[in-house]
Amino acid sequence: MNVTLRGRILQILDTMVKEGYANTKSEAIRLAILNFGEERIGKEVMVREKLDKIDMRIREGKRRVLGSKEALGVYAKYAK
């Protein structure tokens, strides 16, 4: 994806890199999108979407669920 940035947006990106918030402009854009998502969309929505994707992968057989003893492995003997 190519994006042309000008004006204030470009100044902000340059400042983010110059001040060390990001190493590159691409990284600065990723950070800005993540920040927007956390502020506007909220972690709750993102977590719900991630859990829905995990559930879908389980239904499709692309991911499996472990039982507690299987997940604990050698430490299962300590579970009550």
Averages of pLDDT over runs of 10 residues in the chain (80 residues) are 91 96 95 89 86 95 90 86
Looking at residue 6, its pLDDT comes to: 94
Looking at residue 79, its pLDDT comes to: 79
Question: Could you please report the per-residue DSSP string of 9-34?
Answer: HHHHHHHHHHTTS-SSHHHHHHHHHH
Asked whether 76 and 68 are in contact (CB, 8 A), the reply is: yes
Looking at residue 76, its pLDDT comes to: 86
Dihedral, 67, 71, 73, 78 alpha carbons, nearest 10: -80
Looking at residue 37, its pLDDT comes to: 85
Dihedral, 31, 37, 43, 49 alpha carbons, nearest 10: -110
Give dist(CA 28, CA 34) in Å, integer.
Answer: 10
